[in-house]
Amino acid sequence: MKSTKDFWELKNQSKKIVMVTAYDYPSAKQVEQAQADVILVGDSLGNVVLGYDSTIYVTMEDMLHHAKAVRRGAPNTFIVVDMPFMSYHLSVRDTLLNGARLIQETGADAVKVEGADEVLPHIKALVKAGIPVVSHLGLTPQSVAVLGGFKVQGKDAESAKKILEDVKRCQEAGAFAIVLECIPQQLAQEISTSLSIPTIGIGAGVHTDGQVLVYHDILTYGVNRVPKFVKSYANSDELMTKGLRTYVSEVRNKLFPGDQHSYTLKEEELKTLYG
Ligand code: KIV
Ligand code: NA
């Protein structure tokens, strides 16, 4: 099990931090077996597991439910849980109560929050209360309605400067790592060299201190359209649909179950039974 300090050490040794999302027991088990450094219970579960078209529908109860299953599947991996939409925007008291629930009730190690500005006091309060925080900047899916769609962020000098300032403020507020989503690789490089805390990129090029991808995207598992920054490493849909089709066909053709899948009474017992 790693700690926040280990991630700083990886950065200082120029070793990449590997983060993968997981949402349930089997995916968490696989990611732990693959020896990723961190598991993110992302609110992307709203899209890839629950079938919503946005992460804003994901609730505290959803996050708690899934994070508990992930901890059971990955007892020895550092787990970060996303704080869902509107769970860290009201009072600092609400934020602390929600953050505490996500840690205490699930056994996760840290929480992740999107944005800077008005979120900064919430980051400070969480860290002060003993809850490690990961920041998430660049494309922040919980505010995609305001951003005007899933677009690359920081493409002009002015918005790049704003992101550069924001990441520094998040570091000052006490975040121990920062996820950078969908920003130009030169900006991600500049951020990664100017911050002392590690950056974990998704659609941010190769120069970040680590990378994160969504489990379902890596494995092509039930996803429809994927962004440019995704690389598929396996085709689960093909493999799994083929397996399911074969099962359906074997049942219809009376090929399953075979003798080896069935329980059999001994001859003598049969005789006693039917005379
Ligand atoms: O919810 C999620 O999966 C995320 C990653 C894309 C960073 O926030
Ligand atoms: Na997220």
Domain ranges of the chain: 4-234, 239-274
Region 68-95: what's the mean pLDDT? 98
pLDDT of residue 214: 98
Q: List the residue whose alpha carbon is closest to atom 1 of ligand 1.
A: 42
The three-class DSSP label of residue 41 is strand
- Shortest-distance ligand to the CA of residue 40: 1
Active site residue 181: yes
CA-angle at 28, arms to 170 and 76, nearest 5°: 75
Residue 8 has pLDDT above 90, yes or no: yes
pLDDT of residue 4: 96
Q: Is the ipTM of this complex over 0.95?
A: yes
pLDDT of residue 127: 98
Q: List the residue whose alpha carbon is closest to atom 4 of ligand 1.
A: 42
pLDDT tens readout for residues 245-270: 999 999 999 999 999 999 999 999 99
pLDDT of residue 20: 98
Q: Evaluate: CB of 212 within 6 angstroms of ligand 1.
A: yes
The DSSP call for residue 35 is: T
Residue 42 CA to ligand 1 center (angstroms) comes to 5
Q: Evaluate: CB of 44 within 6 angstroms of ligand 1.
A: yes
pLDDT of residue 96: 98
Residue 91 has pLDDT above 90, yes or no: yes
User: Tokens 């677009």 — which residue?
Assistant: 151
Region 92-119: what's the mean pLDDT? 98
pLDDT tens readout for residues 134-183: 999 999 999 999 999 999 999 999 999 999 999 999 999 999 999 999 99
Residue 106 CA to ligand 2 center (angstroms) comes to 17
Highest CATH level, class, for 4-234: alpha beta
pLDDT tens readout for residues 9-65: 999 999 999 999 999 999 999 999 999 999 999 999 999 999 999 999 999 999 999
Distance of CA 134 to the CA centre of its chain: 12
Q: Evaluate: CB of 110 within 6 angstroms of ligand 1.
A: no
| Structure confidence at residue 224 as a pLDDT band (50, 70, 90) | confident
pLDDT of residue 225: 85
Region 98-112: what's the mean pLDDT? 98
Neighbours of 186 (CB within 10 A): 12
- Tell me, yes or no, if the pTM score tops 0.95: yes
Give the ranges where the chain is alpha helix by DSSP (H).
4-12, 25-33, 45-48, 60-73, 92-104, 120-128, 144-147, 157-173, 185-194, 215-219, 236-252, 267-274
pLDDT of residue 275: 79
| Structure confidence at residue 83 as a pLDDT band (50, 70, 90) | very high
Rounded to the nearest integer, the mean pLDDT of the chain is 97
Contact 109, 130 (CB under 8 A): no
| Structure confidence at residue 1 as a pLDDT band (50, 70, 90) | confident
